[in-house]
Amino acid sequence: MESPKNSLIPSFLYSSSSSPRSFLLDQVLNSNSNAAFEKSPSPAPRSSPTSMISRKNFLIASPTEPGKGIEMYSPAFYAACTFGGILSCGLTHMTVTPLDLVKCNMQIDPAKYRSISSGFGILLKEQGVKGFFRGWVPTLLGYSAQGACKFGFYEYFKKTYSDLAGPEYTAKYKTLIYLAGSASAEIIADIALCPFEAVKVRVQTQPGFARGMSDGFPKFIKSEGYGGLYKGLAPLWGRQIPYTMMKFASFETIVEMIYKYAIPNPKSECSKGLQLGVSFAGGYVAGVFCAIVSHPADNLVSFLNNAKGATVGDAVKKIGMVGLFTRGLPLRIVMIGTLTGAQWGLYDAFKVFVGLPTTGGVAPAPAIAATEAKA
């Protein structure tokens, strides 16, 4: 028998349900599973490869769940994921509105807003404390709509593409499934976000243009027409599709690696608190990668939505190629890292609340079977 691998996580966080600390934490975060713990104080036996292969939904195995509540891949499941996306994206983006405001102004007027600290100082002096939350309404509405489509359609497309590929190819090319599912979902999500993003940037970077969403929307339409609301759609796709592909694929991979290398016990034996901690950590690391990949397009979106009649060529000429990759990047790394970690934490917390498993961390069943067959 092999000796257990060393853990990078304190042992009390991944102890079985018989541990008082873990049991208490599970009572708080997963009350739906208390009955199961009371009936059986010892850890549930791990599923055999044969039983896992026979499951219809092989992509997201759920050994930690008692099989009650929302059925996986049912309409209620996708509705829950959609609502979880609204909470995770809408609330987090609204919370970091001050950071986003400084970032947008640094991108539009770098001569005035030279650094993060000076940017906050200038905004505080010119607009007061209220100025830091300028544009929070279009931010909340736009990113709530985007989050609903992003997470809801990701789960749908991931399941659809997995079924098309079949168990063997899904296990072999799971990263491609994550990439394709997230890209497909983001195309739809950005159509919902784009009008709100256009108004948000105009309100944040042009003081006096409008107080917020209610008067900003009609003023923008009067100035640019309805087509102007989607003027930045192509750059938005250029920013958000690579961002989301990196966000979901890297998150799924990082979480699987954490459970494989950093935690000695299977995910089924980890407390819900630890699982949500893994979700946040995996999301933060994924967010750093997301910020770097999508930053040039983020500069383009800010420039095009701020300047009437501007083109991509105008943006490149004024900002420069180096500026596209570096202007405002440190602040965006901090913002997106925190944002993405919080989004995954909130999303999985809501899934746990309604009785669903957290995202990632379990390899597809065919991969498990193949590994054990070689042993």
298-327 pLDDT, tens digit each: 888 888 877 777 888 888 888 888 888 888
- What are the pLDDT digits (tens) for 73-86? 999 999 999 999 99
- SS3 assignment for the chain: CCCCCCCCCCHHHHCCCCCHHHHHHHHHHCHHHHHHHHHCCCCCCCCCHHHHHCCCCCCCCCCCCCCCCCCCCCHHHHHHHHHHHHHHHHHHHHHCHHHHHHHHHHHHCCCCCCCHHHHHHHHHHHHCHHHHHCCHHHHHHHHHHHHHHHHHHHHHHHHHHHHHHHHHHHHHCHHHHHHHHHHHHHHHHHHHHHHHHHHHHHHHHCCCCCCCHHHHHHHHHHHHCHHHHHCCHHHHHHHHHHHHHHHHHHHHHHHHHHHHHHCCCCHHHCCHHHHHHHHHHHHHHHHHHHHHHHHHHHHHHHHHHHCCCCCHHHHHHHHCHHHHHHCCHHHHHHHHHHHHHHHHHHHHHHHHHCCCCCCCCCCCHHHHHHHHHHC
Q: Among the CATH numbers 1.50.40.10, 3.40.50.2300, 2.30.30.100, 3.30.70.1450, which is that of 68-368?
A: 1.50.40.10
At 105-125, the pLDDT tens digits run 888 888 889 888 888 999 999
The most confident of the ranges 22-26, 84-88, 202-206, 331-335 is 84-88
For residue 159, is pLDDT > 90?
A: yes
Query: Which one is predicted more confidently, 281 or 2?
Result: 281
